[in-house]
């Protein structure tokens, strides 16, 4: 079977936004809560407090995102909900009024599309909140509710708010706040498919699917893909699967997954022993122990063999998300770890995703600390922001960095070099994670490339050809904890 994925994703750079924490509108059109005292923006976030970010604020930040080079946004949930992260869905057809409601999202979507920025929404289709109308009807009417078979009811009475009695219904991870749908009920299935279709028709460019592995009903995700793609063949369907995702990446379900299998070894290689284990040990990925270049090359080689190439090009690659600590904090504040990992992120096959604030040096531990308010400009790390801007611009400028072949050229100790090639465009990316400078010597045969590399396109270091040797050799000199991209003077 020929696997087809959205072409635009292969050329996308995503920005993940947690709406409550990204931006307050300066010109709010809010109908409700106009004078509400939100949780202070710059104080540590709490599990239940709202900071009041909204979609008008995101619209006002589109200039910033465009200047950064972002051409796709992934929003964590924006539907009406009873929590600041909005994974407790209350109404799938209504954008949360705190965010501005459907009208604010309409305006934002139209403005994003005018700027050629795609928008992907988070679909939480495994479970809902206790306030979801159909479940609330069961709480009110018990066994007389017509919605009884929409959930997994196990007995009576239901106990949605107290831990002193059995819940008597299935909640996600035994969380009473999150009743799980009965996906074996055809009506539930139809209802969820219609939600997906409604927002595709509204104009969104795809769905990120929350915990899709929890839905066991045979054929569910195959039907989801068929119905979504029937409305928009270029819609992006990306699943939250933290480990081996071959079960879902067979071409009949998802176009990609959140690529934690890239994040984990990349952090383990670039941050090494700087990783604070308390930040990562209870997560569903393993950015530890420290990896050598040889180990990293083996992990990346295994990853690139795991899925078809068409799928590799539409993976959602990341270094952090709302479900992890931020890399800067994982690496105990080591900025070089963030820079080295970002260089690898922006030059890897698949769509890179920047978690809001990472580009300006926003720290953050585990949830809720990883969901801090986006900092004001005086708190930005301008060097890190420029580092991101330059790498994103290079990715957009060089097709080899987006859809070119990937091949490891050198992996030894703390130095790793790989090539990205597309037709006659060839680029060499080299990193040195050591605390000492390094010289990497590559023969023409080891390179296996036609390009006479003669200039640094990005980063620090120097390069020199030694033509007098047999065979000729390229020597790359890299400062400590640094990386570079090498090309030729004939490139655009």
- Which three-class secondary structure string do you get for 359-398? HHCCCCCCCCHHHCCCCCHHHCCHHHHHHHHHHHHHHHHC
Cα 423-429-433 angle, rounded to 5 deg: 165
Bridge partners, residue 80, by sequence: 91
Alpha carbons 214 and 228: distance in angstroms, whole number: 20
Given the residues 54, 122, 205, 210, select the one marked as catalytic. 210
386 noted as active-site residue: no
Residues paired with residue 441 on neighbouring β-strands, in sequence order: 475
- Give me the phi and psi of 430, to 5 degrees please: -130, 140
Question: Is residue 66 within 8 Å of 76, Cβ to Cβ?
Answer: no
310 part of the active site: no
**Rounded distance between C-alpha atoms, residue 300 and residue 288, angstroms:** 15
Instruction: Compute CA distances 323 → 16, 90, 171, 242, 460, whole Å.
Output: 12, 21, 19, 11, 33
What ranges make up the beta strands (E) of 260-401? 316-318, 351-355
The token pair at 420 is: 């990205």
C-beta of residue 109 within 8 angstroms of C-beta of residue 388: no
Token pair belonging to 392: 């994103």
With residues binned 3-state (H G I as helix, E B as strand, rest as coil), the percentages for the chain, rounded to 5, are 35, 20, 45
Of 20, 96, 122, 240, which residue is the catalytic one? 240
Which 8-state DSSP code applies to residue 358?
G
- Catalytically annotated residues: 210, 240
């Amino acid at each position: 079977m020929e696997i087809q994925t959205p072409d635009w994703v292969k050329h996308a750079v995503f920005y993940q936004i947690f709406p409550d924490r990204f931006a307050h509108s300066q010109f709010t059109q809010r109908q409700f809560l106009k004078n509400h005292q939100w949780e202070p923006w710059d104080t540590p976030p709490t599990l239940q407090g709202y900071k009041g970010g909204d979609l008008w604020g995101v619209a006002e930040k589109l200039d910033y995102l465009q200047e950064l080079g972002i051409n796709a946004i992934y929003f964590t949930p924006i539907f009406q909900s009873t929590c600041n992260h909005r994974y407790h869905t209350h109404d799938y057809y209504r954008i949360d009024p705190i965010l501005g409601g459907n009208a604010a999202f309409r305006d934002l979507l139209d403005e994003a599309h005018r700027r050629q920025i795609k928008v992907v929404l988070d679909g939480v289709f495994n479970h809902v909140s206790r306030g979801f109308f159909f479940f609330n009807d069961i709480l009110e009417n018990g066994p007389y509710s017509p919605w009884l078979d929409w959930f997994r009811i196990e007995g009576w009475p239901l106990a949605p708010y107290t831990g002193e009695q059995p819940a008597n219904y299935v909640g996600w991870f035994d969380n009473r706040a999150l009743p799980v749908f009965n996906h074996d009920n055809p009506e539930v299935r139809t209802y969820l498919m219609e939600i997906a279709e409604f927002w595709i028709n509204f104009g969104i460019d795809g769905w990120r699917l929350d915990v899709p592995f929890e839905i066991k009903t045979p054929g569910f995700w195959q039907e989801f893909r068929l119905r979504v793609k029937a409305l928009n063949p270029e819609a992006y369907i990306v699943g939250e699967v933290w480990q081996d995702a071959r079960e879902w990446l067979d071409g009949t379900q998802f176009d990609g997954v959140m690529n934690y299998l890239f994040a984990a070894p990349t952090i383990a290689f670039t941050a090494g022993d700087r990783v604070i284990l308390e930040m990562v040990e209870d997560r569903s990925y393993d950015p530890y122990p420290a990896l050598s270049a040889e180990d990293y090359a083996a992990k990346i080689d295994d990853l690139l063999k795991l899925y078809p190439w068409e799928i590799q090009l539409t993976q959602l690659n990341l270094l952090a998300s709302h479900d992890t600590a931020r890399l800067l904090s994982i690496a105990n504040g080591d900025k070089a770890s963030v820079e080295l990992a970002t260089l690898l992120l922006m030059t890897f096959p698949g769509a890179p995703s920047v978690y809001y604030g990472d580009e300006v040096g926003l720290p953050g531990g585990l949830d809720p600390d990883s969901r801090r308010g986006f900092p004001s400009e005086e708190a930005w790390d301008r060097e890190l922001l420029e580092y991101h801007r330059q790498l994103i611009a290079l990715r957009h400028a060089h097709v080899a960095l987006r859809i070119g072949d990937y091949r490891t050229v050198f992996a030894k100790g703390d130095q790793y070099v790989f090539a990205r090639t597309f037709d006659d465009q060839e680029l060499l990316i080299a990193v040195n994670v050591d605390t000492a400078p390094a010289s990497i010597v590559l023969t023409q045969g080891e390179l296996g490339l036609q390009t006479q590399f003669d200039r640094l396109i990005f980063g620090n270091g120097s390069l020199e050809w030694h033509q007098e040797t047999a065979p000729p050799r390229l020597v790359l000199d890299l400062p400590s904890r640094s990386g570079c991209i090498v090309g030729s003077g004939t490139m655009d």
